[in-house]
Chain A
Amino acid sequence: MPAETIKGLAEAIGLIGAGVAMGFGAIGPGIGEGQAAGKAVEGVRMRPEAAPIITRTMLIGQAVAETGGIFALVIAILLVFITKATTIPVAIAYLSAGISIGMGAIGSSIGQGMAAASACEAVARIPNFSDKIITFMLIGQSAASTPSIFALVVSLLLMFIAKPTTISLAMAYLAAGISVGMGAIGSSVGQGMGAAAACDAVARRPSFSDKVITFMLIGQSAASTPSIFALVVSLLLMFSVKDAGIVKTAAYLGAGISMGFGAIGPGYGCGFAAEEGTRAAGYGFSKYSVALRTMLIGQAVAQSTAVYAMVIALILIYVV
């Protein structure tokens, strides 16, 4: 192909990355903030005199849920205006950056939106506790943003630090984007479910609030573990692979697919366990440590397929 066409093609692929980033990045905030709005409307119907505080809670929660979309917007703007791909491998790296933040923003905004929704419902039930409820919502939401921060970090590294020179390396970077991007979806939704349950629990029994927060944070940490594995695989794919033939390139791609999709289910499942555990903490137990251990054992088994996916990914990167 003449050099002119290659440069055009490279720039085109880079711009597709921007489209992917914002296109998929807009899914999450839409769903999550809509959930919050719906629950807020329901709350106002139940308790019209609390409408101002409910609306304030909704707006704060929605603002935090928006951050995933803002990350995607920032990456998209950078891809359109600041960075210009001139070779195909670099263009593929930019496409991967778009995939990374585009997918990564979906889950985090949905999860944070669910937490905001639950907070609105709780505030409607007991407007006097709104300060505590909003605090718990913010803490839970900030923990739920972790996977999307990982996706953002990988996006930025792919755009500014990685300079692939061959198609093979570029495929490894594409796999890195898929790994951390898809890997963030399940975990953040799961963490958001835990945060939602915490807002609900603290409104029911404010005296147990320190148990609730402990359960929420520990449950959320277990739910975020698959996305951490995805981050590790992404970093390895970016920084410790060498140029190789088509076989090894396919192995890198397989590693990214394995870890990326493999983190969806366990993240969501552990989030369900975190949600139930946190809700139970609100009802109060007599044997707090037994319940904590049950939640941890259950989550540890639920994470096992994420561990398998990471093992397969590592074998694909290093052994075969």
Chain B
Amino acid sequence: MGDIGKIYAWAFKIGNYEIVVNYMTIIWTWIVMAILIILAYLAGKGAKLVPVSRITLFFDWLIDGFRGIVFDTLGEELGRKYFGFIMTIFLFVMTSNVIGIIPGSVCPTQDLNTTLGLGLLVFFVVHGSAIYYKGLWGYLKSYAEPFLLLLPLNVVGEIAKVISHSFRLFGNILGGSIIIIVVGYLVKEWVLPIILNGFFGVFVGIVQAFVFAMLALVYLAVAIVED
């Protein structure tokens, strides 16, 4: 039970600074990347007018579903620019969450570094796009809406958005993995933890990945789409 919050990390000193590297997170992130690249290659190979490869069909269905939502929210041309971004976020987060089902694995999204990094990535893309499409003055003006008095609150609200975006994913995935450890400790059979892993790991993982990608899309839409 003592290894509930355990993080596998190396700490080493360079000069006066101590550098901590969470090596398990990094290794499993590479594994997730490798899986996605291989799946993408296999899906692309089967791309015909009427595909028969199961991987291609699965990705076809996934992309079609997201295409509707993204293009509805962003409009035609903006949708085309940002569709890849949103889809990649969803695929990466979903694979990272679901990979926890392998015994002995560490979800990359279980580590606050990963989720905070993704949250900051979305933050920079959203605000960068807002500056690009509205101009610097238009972007700064948007903080003064609807009343100038709300300016500090809007700024704090933007920072709070990044925090909530990252911590939601982190808390859910970390919570799921902790629940599996605790139940495995209390019930020493193998059956129940695996069934539970199905619910908490896979189901919650997919839902939270969808929520993360959807929120990124919505933040983007609110920032750059004109009425």
Contacts and interface: CB of A to CB of B under 8 A. Distances in A.
A292 B73 contact: yes
Interface stretch (A16-24, A168-176, A216-224): A216-224
Interface stretch (B95-103, B126-134, B136-144, B213-221): B213-221
Contacts of B157: 300, 303-304, 307
B83 to A, nearest CB: 16
Interface residues of A, number: 39
Interface of B: 1-2, 4-5, 65, 68-69, 72-73, 153, 156-157, 160, 163-164, 167-168, 171-172, 174-176, 178-179, 182, 186, 203-204, 207, 210-211, 214-215, 218, 221-222, 225, 227
B2 A160 contact: yes
Q: Which 7 A-B pairs have the closest CB atoms?
A: A149-B175, A225-B164, A228-B164, A153-B175, A228-B167, A150-B171, A217-B211
Nearest to B175: A149
B160 A229 contact: yes
A218 B218 contact: yes
Contact of B163 (A156, A232, A293): A232
B104 to A, nearest CB: 20
Contacts of A103: none
Interface in A160-204: 160-161
A289 interface: yes
A231 interface: yes
Nearest to A151: B175
Given A229-B160, A232-B167, A152 B179 contact: yes
Contact of A161 (B4, B68, B153, B215): B4
Contact of A153 (B65, B164, B168, B178): B178
A305 B152 CA distance: 13
A210 interface: yes
A292 B222 CA distance: 9
A142 B153 CA distance: 31
A142 B207 contact: yes
B204 A307 contact: no
A290 B221 CA distance: 11
B218 A296 contact: yes
A142 B204 contact: yes
B69 A142 contact: no
